[in-house]
Structure formats: structure tokens, C-alpha cells
Structure 1
Amino acid sequence: MFYRDDQGAIQPVQTKADWLRRRTEILSGMQEAMGPMPERKRDHDFDLRIDHREQGNGFERLTVS
């Protein structure tokens, strides 16, 4: 994965700071193509229910609603 530095040169992502910079580039490009992301609400009230549970060989499958 790569990002563009202040001079426009392509650099490899090697640090957390590099990743944060690349992440900003990715989100900017995505929002340019798709429009802005909706506002994130933190106060979700989920009523998660397990409707069906199936045990498999090395896994468990849940049907939730």
C-alpha cells in the first residue's frame, strides 16, 4: 500500500502515521465518488435475537434478527 507525500511522490505505508494519511486519501476518494458518509450515531439500541443456532464441523452458524 502506498500514499503520496507532500511533494506528490509515492511512498510505501510503513508507520501508523503513514496509514492515517493513506486512510484520509482513501476516504476522500470514496466520498468524491459516492458522496459524503452519513453522520455516525453512537446511541444505537440493538435488540439482537438469535433465531436459530446450528453447530457445524469447526464452526457455529447463527441466524439473527
Structure 2
Amino acid sequence: RRSTASANGRHAGAAGPGAVGEQVRRARMQGYEGDACDSCGSFTLVRNGSCLKCMTCGGTSGCS
């Protein structure tokens, strides 16, 4: 099951599309990319070279 933790550590639960849009907006305002982590679902991804790194769980995506 995929976690729906937001950048502030709270879980969105069964959030609708508007709630996800709000999470993206908040994440971008805090300096994050605005995408959800594939590993933990947090919106705390930062650019790390050509990759994205999750500041919550340390997972990476987009690396080759």
C-alpha cells in the first residue's frame, strides 16, 4: 500500500484531486519539486543532479 504522507508528515487518507493539488502547491512553496515519492508518497522530492531525492525516506527516482 502506498503512503499518502504529505510534506508536513500528515496523511491525506482518501484525498480527492483538489487535496492532492493543494499538497503539490504547498510542497512547491517549501522548495520541493511537487512530485510524490514513489517509495513513501511524501511530497518532499528535491533535485539531486539528474535525479530526484526524497528528503523523507532517502529514496531516489529518475536516476540511471
Under a length normalisation based on structure 2, what TM-score does the superposition of the two structures give? 0.30
Q: Which has the higher contact order (CA 8 A, sep 6+)?
A: 2
Larger fraction in strand: 1
Bigger-Rg structure (1/2) = 1
Larger fraction in helix: 1
